[in-house]
A and B are shown apart, each in its own frame.
Chain A
Protein backbone atom coordinates (compact mmCIF):
# COMPACT_ATOMS: atom_id res chain seq x y z
CA UNK A 1 0.00 0.00 0.00
CA UNK A 2 1.53 3.32 -1.04
CA UNK A 3 2.02 5.57 1.98
CA UNK A 4 0.38 8.98 2.02
CA UNK A 5 2.48 11.96 1.01
CA UNK A 6 2.67 14.99 3.33
CA UNK A 7 0.52 16.85 0.82
CA UNK A 8 -2.11 14.12 0.96
CA UNK A 9 -2.09 14.11 4.77
CA UNK A 10 -2.89 17.80 4.65
CA UNK A 11 -5.42 17.35 1.84
CA UNK A 12 -7.47 14.73 3.72
CA UNK A 13 -6.88 16.02 7.27
CA UNK A 14 -10.57 16.64 8.02
CA UNK A 15 -11.50 13.18 6.76
CA UNK A 16 -8.59 11.42 8.51
CA UNK A 17 -9.68 13.08 11.76
CA UNK A 18 -12.65 10.69 11.78
CA UNK A 19 -11.83 7.83 14.15
CA UNK A 20 -13.07 5.22 11.65
CA UNK A 21 -10.67 6.48 9.00
CA UNK A 22 -7.38 7.83 10.30
CA UNK A 23 -4.18 7.37 8.35
CA UNK A 24 -4.69 3.62 7.87
CA UNK A 25 -8.18 4.12 6.49
CA UNK A 26 -7.03 6.89 4.20
CA UNK A 27 -4.33 4.60 2.84
CA UNK A 28 -7.00 1.96 2.15
CA UNK A 29 -9.09 4.54 0.33
CA UNK A 30 -6.04 5.50 -1.71
CA UNK A 31 -5.35 1.86 -2.57
CA UNK A 32 -8.94 1.27 -3.73
CA UNK A 33 -9.85 1.01 -7.39
CA UNK A 34 -13.52 1.88 -7.93
CA UNK A 35 -15.41 1.68 -11.21
CA UNK A 36 -18.51 3.82 -11.63
CA UNK A 37 -20.97 2.82 -14.34
CA UNK A 38 -22.72 5.91 -15.66
CA UNK A 39 -21.61 9.53 -15.31
CA UNK A 40 -25.15 10.85 -14.93
CA UNK A 41 -27.43 11.80 -12.08
CA UNK A 42 -26.20 9.12 -9.66
CA UNK A 43 -22.67 9.11 -11.02
CA UNK A 44 -22.24 12.85 -10.54
CA UNK A 45 -22.19 13.07 -6.74
CA UNK A 46 -20.85 9.53 -6.54
CA UNK A 47 -17.79 10.27 -8.65
CA UNK A 48 -17.23 13.68 -7.10
CA UNK A 49 -17.35 12.37 -3.53
CA UNK A 50 -15.13 9.40 -4.35
CA UNK A 51 -12.60 11.70 -5.97
CA UNK A 52 -12.84 14.10 -3.06
CA UNK A 53 -12.35 11.26 -0.59
CA UNK A 54 -9.15 10.24 -2.35
CA UNK A 55 -10.06 6.91 -3.95
CA UNK A 56 -6.77 6.17 -5.68
CA UNK A 57 -8.10 4.92 -9.00
CA UNK A 58 -11.53 5.81 -10.32
CA UNK A 59 -12.96 4.33 -13.52
CA UNK A 60 -15.75 6.07 -15.40
CA UNK A 61 -17.85 4.13 -17.90
CA UNK A 62 -20.35 5.95 -20.09
CA UNK A 63 -21.07 6.34 -23.77
CA UNK A 64 -23.37 9.28 -24.03
CA UNK A 65 -22.78 12.98 -24.55
CA UNK A 66 -23.75 15.86 -22.29
CA UNK A 67 -26.90 17.73 -23.21
CA UNK A 68 -28.96 20.48 -21.68
CA UNK A 69 -31.69 18.20 -20.30
CA UNK A 70 -28.99 16.50 -18.16
CA UNK A 71 -27.76 19.60 -16.40
CA UNK A 72 -30.45 20.00 -13.71
CA UNK A 73 -29.21 16.83 -12.02
CA UNK A 74 -25.87 15.78 -13.53
CA UNK A 75 -23.69 18.23 -11.65
CA UNK A 76 -20.46 16.81 -13.04
CA UNK A 77 -21.22 18.64 -16.25
CA UNK A 78 -21.90 22.22 -17.24
CA UNK A 79 -22.84 24.34 -20.21
CA UNK A 80 -19.22 24.41 -21.36
CA UNK A 81 -19.38 20.61 -21.72
CA UNK A 82 -22.43 20.28 -24.00
CA UNK A 83 -22.02 17.60 -26.68
CA UNK A 84 -18.83 16.37 -24.99
CA UNK A 85 -18.56 12.70 -24.05
CA UNK A 86 -19.66 12.40 -20.43
CA UNK A 87 -16.53 10.41 -19.63
CA UNK A 88 -14.37 13.28 -20.83
CA UNK A 89 -16.40 15.89 -18.98
CA UNK A 90 -16.37 13.79 -15.81
CA UNK A 91 -12.62 13.20 -16.04
CA UNK A 92 -12.07 16.96 -16.32
CA UNK A 93 -14.26 17.68 -13.31
CA UNK A 94 -12.53 15.04 -11.18
CA UNK A 95 -9.07 16.21 -12.23
CA UNK A 96 -10.09 19.68 -11.11
CA UNK A 97 -11.32 18.36 -7.77
CA UNK A 98 -8.37 16.25 -6.74
CA UNK A 99 -5.04 15.84 -8.56
CA UNK A 100 -4.11 12.89 -6.35
CA UNK A 101 -6.67 10.68 -8.02
CA UNK A 102 -6.03 8.62 -11.16
CA UNK A 103 -9.03 8.60 -13.50
CA UNK A 104 -9.54 5.91 -16.11
CA UNK A 105 -12.09 6.43 -18.86
CA UNK A 106 -14.10 3.62 -20.38
CA UNK A 107 -15.79 5.18 -23.40
CA UNK A 108 -18.42 3.00 -24.99
CA UNK A 109 -21.33 0.82 -24.01
CA UNK A 110 -21.14 -1.67 -21.16
CA UNK A 111 -22.97 -4.83 -22.19
CA UNK A 112 -22.65 -8.60 -22.04
CA UNK A 113 -19.79 -8.46 -24.55
CA UNK A 114 -17.77 -5.80 -22.78
CA UNK A 115 -18.62 -5.95 -19.06
CA UNK A 116 -15.98 -8.53 -18.05
CA UNK A 117 -13.24 -6.48 -19.67
CA UNK A 118 -14.45 -3.20 -18.16
CA UNK A 119 -14.77 -4.40 -14.55
CA UNK A 120 -11.46 -6.30 -14.57
CA UNK A 121 -8.92 -4.96 -12.10
CA UNK A 122 -11.34 -2.93 -9.97
CA UNK A 123 -11.86 -3.68 -6.28
CA UNK A 124 -15.41 -2.27 -6.13
CA UNK A 125 -17.97 -1.45 -8.81
CA UNK A 126 -20.73 1.13 -8.27
CA UNK A 127 -23.56 0.98 -10.76
CA UNK A 128 -25.44 4.17 -11.50
CA UNK A 129 -26.63 3.25 -14.97
CA UNK A 130 -30.15 3.92 -16.21
CA UNK A 131 -31.27 0.65 -17.73
CA UNK A 132 -31.79 -2.99 -16.86
CA UNK A 133 -29.63 -4.68 -19.51
CA UNK A 134 -26.53 -2.76 -18.43
CA UNK A 135 -27.20 -3.48 -14.74
CA UNK A 136 -27.68 -7.15 -15.50
CA UNK A 137 -24.47 -7.39 -17.53
CA UNK A 138 -22.46 -5.47 -14.90
CA UNK A 139 -23.80 -7.68 -12.11
CA UNK A 140 -22.99 -10.87 -14.01
CA UNK A 141 -19.44 -9.65 -14.65
CA UNK A 142 -18.95 -8.64 -10.99
CA UNK A 143 -20.29 -12.01 -9.81
CA UNK A 144 -17.83 -13.85 -12.06
CA UNK A 145 -14.93 -11.63 -10.99
CA UNK A 146 -15.96 -11.66 -7.29
CA UNK A 147 -16.16 -7.87 -7.10
CA UNK A 148 -18.61 -6.21 -4.66
CA UNK A 149 -21.27 -4.27 -6.54
CA UNK A 150 -22.85 -1.22 -4.90
CA UNK A 151 -25.98 -0.61 -6.92
CA UNK A 152 -28.32 2.39 -6.85
CA UNK A 153 -31.30 3.26 -8.97
CA UNK A 154 -33.42 6.38 -9.06
CA UNK A 155 -36.51 7.47 -10.87
CA UNK A 156 -38.69 10.52 -10.47
CA UNK A 157 -38.37 11.33 -6.75
CA UNK A 158 -37.36 8.02 -5.23
CA UNK A 159 -34.84 5.23 -5.54
CA UNK A 160 -33.13 2.21 -4.08
CA UNK A 161 -29.67 1.24 -2.93
CA UNK A 162 -28.13 -2.12 -2.12
CA UNK A 163 -24.89 -4.09 -2.37
CA UNK A 164 -24.42 -7.42 -4.09
CA UNK A 165 -21.72 -9.90 -3.17
CA UNK A 166 -23.46 -13.16 -3.99
CA UNK A 167 -20.07 -14.72 -4.82
CA UNK A 168 -19.77 -15.19 -1.03
CA UNK A 169 -22.74 -17.59 -1.18
CA UNK A 170 -25.97 -17.51 0.88
CA UNK A 171 -27.34 -15.48 2.52
CA UNK A 172 -25.95 -12.83 0.15
CA UNK A 173 -28.60 -12.18 -2.48
CA UNK A 174 -27.72 -11.40 -6.06
CA UNK A 175 -29.20 -8.99 -8.56
CA UNK A 176 -31.37 -11.76 -9.94
CA UNK A 177 -32.79 -12.49 -6.48
CA UNK A 178 -34.09 -8.93 -6.60
CA UNK A 179 -35.04 -8.95 -10.29
CA UNK A 180 -35.46 -12.55 -11.48
CA UNK A 181 -36.89 -11.43 -14.79
CA UNK A 182 -36.06 -8.55 -17.07
CA UNK A 183 -38.84 -5.98 -16.80
CA UNK A 184 -41.38 -6.07 -19.60
CA UNK A 185 -40.53 -3.61 -22.31
CA UNK A 186 -43.59 -1.53 -21.53
CA UNK A 187 -42.55 -1.17 -17.90
CA UNK A 188 -38.93 -0.28 -18.48
CA UNK A 189 -38.65 3.37 -17.63
CA UNK A 190 -36.31 4.32 -20.41
CA UNK A 191 -38.41 7.10 -21.87
CA UNK A 192 -36.97 10.51 -21.58
CA UNK A 193 -40.13 12.29 -20.56
CA UNK A 194 -40.31 10.65 -17.15
CA UNK A 195 -39.43 13.35 -14.66
CA UNK A 196 -36.59 13.17 -12.20
CA UNK A 197 -35.80 15.38 -9.21
CA UNK A 198 -32.15 16.41 -9.22
CA UNK A 199 -31.48 16.38 -5.48
CA UNK A 200 -33.41 13.09 -5.07
CA UNK A 201 -31.12 11.25 -7.45
CA UNK A 202 -28.22 13.22 -5.98
CA UNK A 203 -29.05 12.03 -2.45
CA UNK A 204 -28.99 8.44 -3.67
CA UNK A 205 -25.65 9.03 -5.40
CA UNK A 206 -24.25 10.44 -2.15
CA UNK A 207 -25.59 7.45 -0.20
CA UNK A 208 -23.99 5.21 -2.80
CA UNK A 209 -20.63 6.97 -2.34
CA UNK A 210 -20.94 6.42 1.40
CA UNK A 211 -21.57 2.71 0.83
CA UNK A 212 -18.51 2.46 -1.39
CA UNK A 213 -16.40 4.03 1.38
CA UNK A 214 -17.95 1.65 3.94
CA UNK A 215 -17.01 -1.30 1.73
CA UNK A 216 -13.45 -0.01 1.33
CA UNK A 217 -13.04 0.59 5.05
CA UNK A 218 -15.00 -2.46 6.22
CA UNK A 219 -17.24 -0.36 8.43
CA UNK A 220 -20.41 -2.12 9.54
CA UNK A 221 -22.10 -5.06 7.88
CA UNK A 222 -22.64 -3.30 4.57
CA UNK A 223 -25.84 -3.39 2.56
CA UNK A 224 -25.66 -6.91 1.16
CA UNK A 225 -29.03 -8.40 2.08
CA UNK A 226 -30.60 -5.01 2.71
CA UNK A 227 -32.47 -2.86 0.25
CA UNK A 228 -32.58 0.82 1.14
CA UNK A 229 -35.56 2.71 -0.24
CA UNK A 230 -35.50 6.49 -0.34
CA UNK A 231 -38.37 8.81 -1.14
CA UNK A 232 -37.60 12.49 -1.51
CA UNK A 233 -41.10 13.98 -1.31
CA UNK A 234 -41.68 12.35 2.09
CA UNK A 235 -38.02 12.48 3.16
CA UNK A 236 -38.27 8.80 3.98
CA UNK A 237 -35.48 6.25 4.10
CA UNK A 238 -36.38 2.63 4.82
CA UNK A 239 -34.37 -0.55 5.11
CA UNK A 240 -36.00 -3.70 3.78
CA UNK A 241 -34.50 -7.18 4.19
CA UNK A 242 -33.46 -8.62 0.86
CA UNK A 243 -33.19 -12.41 1.14
CA UNK A 244 -31.82 -14.87 -1.37
CA UNK A 245 -34.51 -16.05 -3.74
CA UNK A 246 -35.18 -19.77 -3.46
CA UNK A 247 -34.10 -21.46 -6.64
CA UNK A 248 -32.11 -18.51 -7.89
CA UNK A 249 -29.30 -20.11 -9.86
CA UNK A 250 -26.79 -17.35 -9.22
CA UNK A 251 -27.03 -17.79 -5.44
CA UNK A 252 -25.88 -21.39 -5.81
CA UNK A 253 -22.52 -19.97 -6.61
CA UNK A 254 -22.85 -20.82 -10.28
CA UNK A 255 -22.11 -17.70 -12.28
CA UNK A 256 -24.85 -17.19 -14.83
CA UNK A 257 -24.77 -15.35 -18.09
CA UNK A 258 -26.88 -12.22 -18.03
CA UNK A 259 -30.50 -12.80 -18.94
CA UNK A 260 -30.32 -10.05 -21.50
CA UNK A 261 -27.76 -9.20 -24.09
CA UNK A 262 -26.53 -5.99 -22.54
CA UNK A 263 -27.07 -2.40 -23.39
CA UNK A 264 -28.45 -2.31 -26.86
CA UNK A 265 -31.82 -1.54 -28.26
CA UNK A 266 -33.76 -4.70 -28.86
CA UNK A 267 -36.99 -3.04 -29.81
CA UNK A 268 -38.13 -2.27 -33.27
CA UNK A 269 -40.16 0.80 -34.01
CA UNK A 270 -43.25 -1.29 -33.40
CA UNK A 271 -41.96 -2.32 -29.98
CA UNK A 272 -40.82 1.10 -28.91
CA UNK A 273 -41.96 1.71 -25.36
CA UNK A 274 -42.11 5.45 -25.81
CA UNK A 275 -45.45 6.91 -26.59
CA UNK A 276 -45.33 10.46 -27.83
CA UNK A 277 -47.51 12.60 -25.65
CA UNK A 278 -48.44 14.71 -28.67
Chain B
Protein backbone atom coordinates (compact mmCIF):
# COMPACT_ATOMS: atom_id res chain seq x y z
CA UNK B 1 0.00 0.00 0.00
CA UNK B 2 1.31 3.43 -0.95
CA UNK B 3 2.16 5.87 1.80
CA UNK B 4 -0.25 8.51 0.43
CA UNK B 5 -3.17 6.09 0.65
CA UNK B 6 -2.34 5.24 4.27
CA UNK B 7 -2.07 8.92 5.15
CA UNK B 8 -5.45 9.61 3.50
CA UNK B 9 -7.05 6.67 5.24
CA UNK B 10 -5.83 7.87 8.62
CA UNK B 11 -6.66 11.48 7.81
CA UNK B 12 -3.21 12.87 8.56
CA UNK B 13 -1.77 15.94 6.88
CA UNK B 14 1.51 15.13 5.21
CA UNK B 15 4.24 16.91 3.36
CA UNK B 16 6.21 15.70 0.35
CA UNK B 17 9.92 16.27 0.44
CA UNK B 18 11.84 16.17 -2.83
CA UNK B 19 15.28 14.74 -2.40
CA UNK B 20 17.96 15.43 -4.98
CA UNK B 21 18.85 12.24 -6.81
CA UNK B 22 15.75 10.42 -5.59
CA UNK B 23 12.84 9.97 -8.00
CA UNK B 24 10.34 9.02 -5.28
CA UNK B 25 9.43 11.67 -2.72
CA UNK B 26 9.76 11.18 1.01
CA UNK B 27 6.82 11.86 3.26
CA UNK B 28 6.85 13.78 6.46
CA UNK B 29 3.99 14.12 8.89
CA UNK B 30 3.52 15.78 12.24
CA UNK B 31 1.37 13.59 14.44
CA UNK B 32 -0.05 13.71 17.95
CA UNK B 33 2.05 11.83 20.55
CA UNK B 34 -1.01 9.87 21.75
CA UNK B 35 -1.81 8.56 18.29
CA UNK B 36 1.73 7.67 17.19
CA UNK B 37 1.64 4.08 18.36
CA UNK B 38 -1.55 3.31 16.40
CA UNK B 39 -0.18 5.03 13.30
CA UNK B 40 3.08 3.07 13.38
CA UNK B 41 1.09 -0.16 13.85
CA UNK B 42 -0.99 0.71 10.79
CA UNK B 43 2.11 1.43 8.70
CA UNK B 44 3.74 -1.78 9.89
CA UNK B 45 0.83 -3.91 8.72
CA UNK B 46 0.79 -2.11 5.35
CA UNK B 47 4.33 -2.99 4.30
CA UNK B 48 6.45 -0.49 6.23
CA UNK B 49 8.30 -3.28 8.01
CA UNK B 50 11.67 -1.60 8.28
CA UNK B 51 12.25 0.77 11.17
CA UNK B 52 15.22 2.80 9.96
CA UNK B 53 15.98 5.17 12.79
CA UNK B 54 14.72 7.22 15.66
CA UNK B 55 16.30 10.64 15.82
CA UNK B 56 15.84 13.71 17.93
CA UNK B 57 16.08 17.43 17.22
CA UNK B 58 16.36 20.07 19.90
CA UNK B 59 14.34 23.16 18.85
CA UNK B 60 15.57 25.48 21.53
CA UNK B 61 13.78 28.64 20.31
CA UNK B 62 10.40 26.94 20.05
CA UNK B 63 10.99 25.09 23.31
CA UNK B 64 10.37 21.71 21.75
CA UNK B 65 12.05 18.37 21.36
CA UNK B 66 11.20 16.66 18.10
CA UNK B 67 11.32 12.87 17.91
CA UNK B 68 11.39 11.51 14.37
CA UNK B 69 10.42 7.92 13.65
CA UNK B 70 11.72 6.88 10.27
CA UNK B 71 10.00 3.97 8.46
CA UNK B 72 10.71 2.33 5.13
CA UNK B 73 8.73 0.00 2.90
CA UNK B 74 10.40 -2.57 0.69
CA UNK B 75 7.21 -3.04 -1.34
CA UNK B 76 6.83 0.54 -2.53
CA UNK B 77 10.37 1.79 -1.73
CA UNK B 78 9.05 4.79 0.16
CA UNK B 79 10.36 6.59 3.21
CA UNK B 80 8.06 7.99 5.87
CA UNK B 81 9.04 10.32 8.69
CA UNK B 82 6.63 10.60 11.59
CA UNK B 83 7.50 13.33 14.03
CA UNK B 84 6.13 14.22 17.42
CA UNK B 85 6.87 17.27 19.53
CA UNK B 86 7.51 17.12 23.27
CA UNK B 87 7.99 20.01 25.71
CA UNK B 88 11.67 20.75 26.03
CA UNK B 89 11.90 21.28 29.78
CA UNK B 90 10.39 17.89 30.57
CA UNK B 91 10.58 15.61 27.53
CA UNK B 92 8.75 12.42 28.34
CA UNK B 93 7.32 9.73 26.12
CA UNK B 94 6.39 6.08 26.31
CA UNK B 95 8.56 3.34 24.88
CA UNK B 96 7.64 1.74 21.57
CA UNK B 97 10.08 -1.14 21.74
CA UNK B 98 7.29 -3.72 21.53
CA UNK B 99 6.63 -2.62 17.93
CA UNK B 100 10.22 -2.89 16.71
CA UNK B 101 12.85 -4.29 19.09
CA UNK B 102 15.59 -2.02 17.71
CA UNK B 103 13.73 1.03 19.03
CA UNK B 104 15.09 0.13 22.47
CA UNK B 105 18.65 0.93 21.43
CA UNK B 106 17.63 4.20 19.77
CA UNK B 107 15.73 5.18 22.89
CA UNK B 108 18.80 4.54 25.01
CA UNK B 109 20.84 6.76 22.72
CA UNK B 110 18.27 9.58 22.63
CA UNK B 111 17.95 9.36 26.40
CA UNK B 112 21.69 9.69 26.86
CA UNK B 113 22.29 12.43 24.30
CA UNK B 114 19.13 14.53 24.77
CA UNK B 115 17.74 13.47 28.13
CA UNK B 116 14.38 12.32 26.80
CA UNK B 117 12.66 9.98 29.23
CA UNK B 118 10.97 6.87 27.79
CA UNK B 119 8.50 5.30 30.20
CA UNK B 120 8.53 1.52 30.13
CA UNK B 121 12.08 1.14 28.83
CA UNK B 122 14.07 -0.32 31.71
CA UNK B 123 17.47 -0.17 30.00
CA UNK B 124 17.94 3.60 29.96
CA UNK B 125 21.23 3.45 31.81
CA UNK B 126 24.73 4.43 30.83
CA UNK B 127 25.18 3.58 27.16
CA UNK B 128 27.82 5.16 24.94
CA UNK B 129 29.12 7.89 27.20
CA UNK B 130 31.01 6.49 30.12
CA UNK B 131 31.68 8.48 33.26
CA UNK B 132 29.45 11.33 32.16
CA UNK B 133 28.36 13.73 34.86
CA UNK B 134 27.07 16.78 33.03
CA UNK B 135 23.88 17.62 31.14
CA UNK B 136 23.11 15.58 27.99
CA UNK B 137 25.69 16.78 25.45
CA UNK B 138 23.57 17.08 22.31
CA UNK B 139 21.20 19.62 23.80
CA UNK B 140 21.62 23.02 22.21
CA UNK B 141 22.33 24.83 25.47
CA UNK B 142 25.33 22.61 26.21
CA UNK B 143 28.50 24.67 25.66
CA UNK B 144 31.02 22.22 24.21
CA UNK B 145 34.02 24.56 24.07
CA UNK B 146 33.55 25.65 27.67
CA UNK B 147 33.22 22.04 28.76
CA UNK B 148 36.39 21.04 26.88
CA UNK B 149 38.33 23.90 28.47
CA UNK B 150 37.19 22.99 31.95
CA UNK B 151 37.57 19.26 31.68
CA UNK B 152 40.52 18.52 29.40
CA UNK B 153 42.66 21.63 29.06
CA UNK B 154 42.89 22.13 32.81
CA UNK B 155 44.59 18.72 33.25
CA UNK B 156 48.24 19.48 34.08
CA UNK B 157 51.17 18.01 32.20
CA UNK B 158 53.29 15.47 34.04
CA UNK B 159 56.86 16.70 34.16
CA UNK B 160 59.96 14.56 33.72
CA UNK B 161 60.18 14.37 29.95
CA UNK B 162 63.84 14.24 28.99
CA UNK B 163 65.09 12.92 32.33
CA UNK B 164 68.22 10.84 32.03
CA UNK B 165 67.74 7.10 32.28
Co-complex (A, B) = no
